[in-house]
Amino acid sequence: MQSFLASIVSVAFHGAAFGMILYVISVGLSITMGLMGFANLAHGVFAMAGGYVLTTAISRFGVPFPLALVCAFAAVALGSVVLERLLYSRLYTAGDLEQVLFTIGLIFIAVAVARFVYGTLQKPVMLPPYLKGQFALLGRDFPAYRVFIIAFSAVMIVALWFGIERTRWGAMVRAAVDNRAMAQSVGIDTRRLFTLTFALGSGLAGLGGALGADIIAIQPTYPFENLVYFLIVVAVGGLGSLRGPFAAALLIGVADTACKYWLPQFGAFFIYLATIGILLWRPAGLFGRRS
Amino acid sequence: MNHRGGYSADTRIRWPEWLPWLVALAAFFLLPEYLSLGARILIYILYALSLDLILGYAGIITLGHSAYFGFGAYVAGVLAAKAGVTDPLVQLVAAAAGGALLGITTGAIILRTRGLTLLMLTLAITSVCLEIANKATALTGGADGLSGVVVAPILGLFKFDLYGKTAYLYCLAMLFVGWALVRRIIYSPFGASLTGLRENSIRMHAIGAPVYWRLVLVYTLSATIAGAAGALLTQTNQFVGLNVLGFEAGGELLVMLILGGVGRVYGAFVGPLVYLLAQDQLAKQFPAYWYFGIGVLLVLVVMFARGGILGIADQALAKLRSKA
Amino acid sequence: MSAVLETRSLCKSFGALTVAANIDFRLEAGARHALIGPNGAGKTTFVNMLTGRLAPSSGRILLGGENITRLAQAARVARGLGRTFQINTLFRDLSVLDNVALGVAERRGVAGRMWRPASGYREIRDESMALLATLGLAEDAPRRVLDLPYGKQRLVEIAIALGLRPKVLLLDEPAAGVPSVDAERILQVLDRLPPDIAILIIEHDMDLVFRFARRITVLVQGEVLVEGPPNEIGRDRRVHQVYLGESHHA
């Protein structure tokens, strides 16, 4: 019984860490899909890029870990602005198929570049010494880095929610998600809003990818392998919503960890089945707005 | 030349439509070293035709069509390697039936949704299939794939030879059947209604069309053909691996079809031909650049050449005609 | 004379917002009935409920005496209910002929067939061409709809609905957005519609309404304000107030 309880705690803990990372990565996708109506399947590319920036910054340039995280965020955010201005913005009015194809093309390009520059193996995770080892919490030992992930993500999430709820930018985002035409007619510059929000969402994805390299391995096929998870979080949580994907991400994180721990022979099977079930029951997601 | 169907369409087979078959037969006699690549191209053309039916004509955007191809491939493989069923036509029919079964069950469930939700569900389905194939190692060989696929001579007469001659002609024959079927469907009243569904499904409801059942039906037909194509792949390679399933495989097929031109039958011929030929030549020499090139090509096609290669050909022909 | 189309206490609310309140409505055979009211009165919502695009919160809809409240759109069409849309809802990339033929094929139960080519069904093509001819669109039959001027597209909208041989035809602002030259053609078409079809027309153009309708229902904020023949409605003070009130805002 003791060890069963212990494994529940362990699953919950690791599941929460996974879920937090999923959320940090996917929240940007939810906002941009709700805001721009653009299905950016290439979102995983930004997360992967963040992971590679972190690795390169630490191992090639000896940048300390905290600064490297900031670099991951900034570099990906900046890169996404360039992509958005040059390419994405031309397709806002295009059909669904065009958007899907375009983003798949981006994935192919990113995967090829990653393979070329970094090779096909997974990037090893280089943690600073103060984040290695165990961390004692309530009489149990947990991997320090995972504790850090949970704590840091929580802070990021609170800051994000605060930003959306309290700042003017956040108000504009909420207005535009709710009714884009209306937002434009009250003078909100939706173009700049899109770019800014896209940059923030992509930057967060990069940060999440970098932070979560321990959980979701950084390798060239990252955008292909993990797209399903990011999409599940957004689809189940509800497009354009903030809280929905959070609940979905935690749910998926814990459920996936639990399944992989107790029923490893089934792998992600149940997650996919559950996703199918949830989407059939609530096509707009658990917290999505029913149109 | 577009094969759009409709109530005033000319359904006679025009002479350019015989070209693909002539080229295929010529290749058989003139390029005997390339027959295994040739068979692969023929299989992917059949596979792309099945996708064109639902994507190009009915307008169902799916990333998960590989589920039905892969399912058919594994059905044939498992029958051949594990159940001792070696007759290729039986394997083929079983795979097609498997594709149909999976198609109708998944289609009936997911075609009640639209847009992102539908896209997401198609992705989830092929991911489930990949996961099952990955984990059920006793049956599928898991990540190592399933070898030991035994294929008996077709009709007891035509043995699968080492040069791939039988395989090539076999795939060509099956492609012909598949093509004839798809062409018939497109020109039929059912095909015309598919175009209506793609263009304006609200209107289709308002003219009394049973929209949901039409979508399920075309989806099932498409899955059947895809399943058959999957079996052909297993039979020609005498092996089936995980790369027939999942998002990456589904994405690649989508690229092939878009490259050729979607919604016009022969795009499904041109696309896989160009893609697989190029892949054969370029990917070996410059593997790093291959994926990059495909990605760039896809982005360019979306931005500037939505109709794919055949679309560009159309425009060029129109310019030539207006000058003449 | 029993009504061809009838609603009893039809209601629709979206949360706290009520868009239809206890609408009792009767459409007789061969009717020429207009539904008017200020913007936002709920006219299109009412039509959407009649056709099955929108489910009512409560109340009943009867077609030919049969309760169709829970029936799907396609089934209502099969029972003779046709409609046009306020904004053109056409198969833009298809020819005018195909636009009409798709509906004709559905009505004839042929649209699901997969074997014979569509163009082999001469009767469908002939019927569609004949229909287009009565609307003056015969020459435009092979042209793509999106290449047509807006006024002709509006006519195609009506043609599709007529191809269904409806017993009841719901026309949602058929002349909306059409330049007056083409509007006259549409009016002539409406005048020549078979007398046995019951027609409900939503319109803002009062000239058209008074020229066409034999009965008028005035809908305001989801409720029926008054119903009667045109001369009574034209004299009704409440109707004047509703519209005069409107013009103050304009």
CB contact set of B196 (below 8 Å; sequence gap of 6+):
B203, B204, B207, B209, C91, C94, C102
- Whether residue B63 lies within 8 A of chain A, CB to CB, comes out as yes
Q: Which residue, A251, A288, A245, A254, is CA-closest to A23?
A: A245
Stretch C61-71: mean pLDDT: 91
Cα B74 to Cα A203: distance, rounded to the nearest angstrom: 41
Domains of chain C: 5-95+166-249 (3.40.50.300)
Which of A47, A242, A282, A21 is closest to B120 using CA atoms? A282
Are chains C and A touching, using the cut-off of 8 Å on CB pairs and a minimum of 3 such pairs? Answer: no
| Average per-residue pLDDT for chain C | 88
Closest chain B CA to residue A99: B302
CA distance C49 to chain B (A): 13
Mean pLDDT of the residues in chain B: 90
**Residue A130 to chain B, least CA–CA distance (Å):** 37
Decide if A245 is inside a domain: no
pLDDT of residue B209: 92
User: What value does the mean pLDDT take over residues C234-245?
Assistant: 78
Instruction: Identify whether A270 is part of a domain.
Output: no
Shortest CA distance from B210: residue in chain C: C74
Counting residues of chain A whose pLDDT is more than 70, the rounded percentage is 98
B44 pLDDT more than 60: yes
8 Å CB contact of B192 and C105? yes
CA proximity to B310, closest of B13, B17, B11, B12: B17
Which strands, in side-by-side order, build the sheet including C66-67? C17-27, C5-14, C58-63, C66-67
Kindly identify which residue of chain A lies nearest to residue B283, measuring between CA atoms: A112
The answer to which of A33-42, B224-233, C118-127 has the lowest mean pLDDT is A33-42
Mean pLDDT calculated for residue range B67-85: 93
pLDDT tens, residue by residue, C7-42: 999 999 887 888 888 899 999 888 999 999 888 788
| Res. A66: pLDDT tops 60 | yes
From chain A, pick out residues whose CB is under 8 angstroms from the CB of B248.
221, 224
pLDDT of residue C245: 58
Highest mean pLDDT among A86-90, A233-237, B190-194, B294-298: B190-194
Q: How confident is the model at residue B217 (pLDDT cuts 50, 70, 90)?
A: very high
**Total domains present in chain A:** 1
Choose from C114, C123, C128, C145 for mutation: most chain B CBs within 10 A.
C114
Residue at A252 is within a domain: no
Residue A157 covered by a domain: yes
Interchain contact, A96 vs B61, CB within 8 Å: yes
Res B153: pLDDT = 85
* pLDDT greater than 70 at residue C147: yes
Inspect the interface and report whether the beta carbons of C118 and B195 lie closer than 8 Å: no
Q: Average pLDDT of A205-224?
A: 88
Instruction: Report yes or no: B143 at the A interface, CB cutoff 8 Å.
Output: no
CB atoms A104 and B251 under 8 Å: yes
Measured between beta carbons, the chain B residues lying within 8 angstroms of C153 are none
Q: Which range in A256-265, A275-284, B177-186 is most confidently predicted, on average pLDDT? A: B177-186
Say whether residue A126 is in contact with chain B using an 8 A CB cutoff. no
Instruction: Report the C-alpha gap between A45 and A68 in whole angstroms.
Output: 18
Contact B188 C93 (CB under 8 A): no
Q: How far is C89 from chain B (nearest CA, A)?
A: 6
Task: Name all chains with 3 or more CB-CB pairs below 8 Å to chain C.
Answer: B
Cβ(A24)–Cβ(A208) below 8 Å: yes
Name A179's Cβ contacts closer than 8 Å, sequence gap at least 6.
none
Examine the pLDDT at A281 and tell me if it is beyond 90.
no
- Which residue in B190, B171, B184 sits closest to B228, CA to CA? B171
Question: Between residues A145 and B70, which one has the greater pLDDT?
Answer: B70
Question: Interface partners of A (3+ CB pairs, < 8 Å)?
Answer: B
What confidence tier does C184 reach under pLDDT thresholds 50, 70, 90? confident
Nearest CB among A91, A273, A279 relative to B120 is that of A279
Say if residue C249's pLDDT is above 50: no
Task: Look at residue C248 in the predicted model and tell me its pLDDT.
Answer: 43
Whether residue A262 lies within 8 A of chain B, CB to CB, comes out as no
Chain C: residue whose CA lies nearest to B199: C91
Residue A26 to residue A43: CA distance in whole angstroms: 8
C61-85 core/surface letters (b: 16 or more CB in 10 A; e: else): bbbbeeebbebebbebbbbbbbbbb
Nearest chain A residue to B61, by CA: A97
A140 or A115, greater pLDDT = A115
**Predicted local distance difference test score (pLDDT) of residue A291:** 40
A245 or B289, which is more confident? A245
- Name the closest residue on chain C to residue B183, using Cα atoms: C117
Give helix then strand counts, H and E, for chain B.
15, 0
Contact: C77, B207; criterion CB under 8 Å: yes
Mean pLDDT, range C116-139, rounded to an integer: 92
pLDDT level of residue A147 (50, 70, 90 thresholds)? confident
A and B: number of Cβ contacts within 8 A? 133
User: For tokens 């008017």, what's the residue?
Assistant: C36
ipTM above 0.90, yes or no: no
Which pLDDT score, from 0 to 100, does residue A143 have?
84
Q: Which of B187, B214, B217 sits opposite C118 (nearest CB)?
A: B187
pLDDT averaged over chain A? 85
pLDDT over 90, % of chain A: 21
Q: What is the pLDDT of residue B207?
A: 92
Q: What is the pLDDT of residue C65?
A: 86
pLDDT for the residue C1: 53
> Could you list the residue range(s) of the whole structural domain that residue A184 is in?
18-220
Contacting residues of C for B187, CB less than 8 Å apart: 117-119
User: Where do the domains of chain B lie?
Assistant: 20-244
pLDDT in tens, C77-116: 999 999 999 888 999 989 999 999 999 999 999 999 998 9
Q: Give C235→chain B minimum CA distance, Å.
A: 37
* Res. A141: pLDDT tops 60: yes
All residues of chain B having their beta carbon less than 8 Å from the beta carbon of residue A272 are 124-125, 127-128, 131
Residue of higher predicted confidence among B164 and C76 = C76
User: Mean of the pLDDT values across residues C200-225?
Assistant: 88
Q: What is the pLDDT of residue B54?
A: 95
What mean pLDDT comes out for the span B195-202?
92
Q: Does position B175 have pLDDT exceeding 80, yes or no? A: yes
Q: Which of B50, B42, B77 is nearest to B66 (CA)?
A: B50
Question: Looking at the domain assignment, is residue A246 inside a domain?
Answer: no
CB-based contact B185 C114, cutoff 8 Å: yes
CA distance, residue B131 to nearest chain A CA (Å): 6
pLDDT for res B1: 60
Cα separation values, A94 from A39, A180, B86, C85, Å: 11, 16, 49, 24
Chain C residues interacting with chain B (CB cutoff of 8 angstroms): 51, 53, 73-75, 77-78, 82-83, 85, 89-95, 97-98, 101-103, 105-107, 110-121, 124-125, 128, 141-142, 160, 163-164
> What is the predicted pLDDT for the residue at C63?
92
Minimum Cα–Cα distance from B12: chain C residue: C117
pLDDT over 90 (residue A47): yes
Q: Look at C118 and B199 and tell me if their CB atoms are within 8 Å.
A: no
Cα-to-chain-centroid distance, residue A95? 25
Query: How high is the pLDDT of residue A1?
Result: 66
For A100-129, what is the mean pLDDT? 85
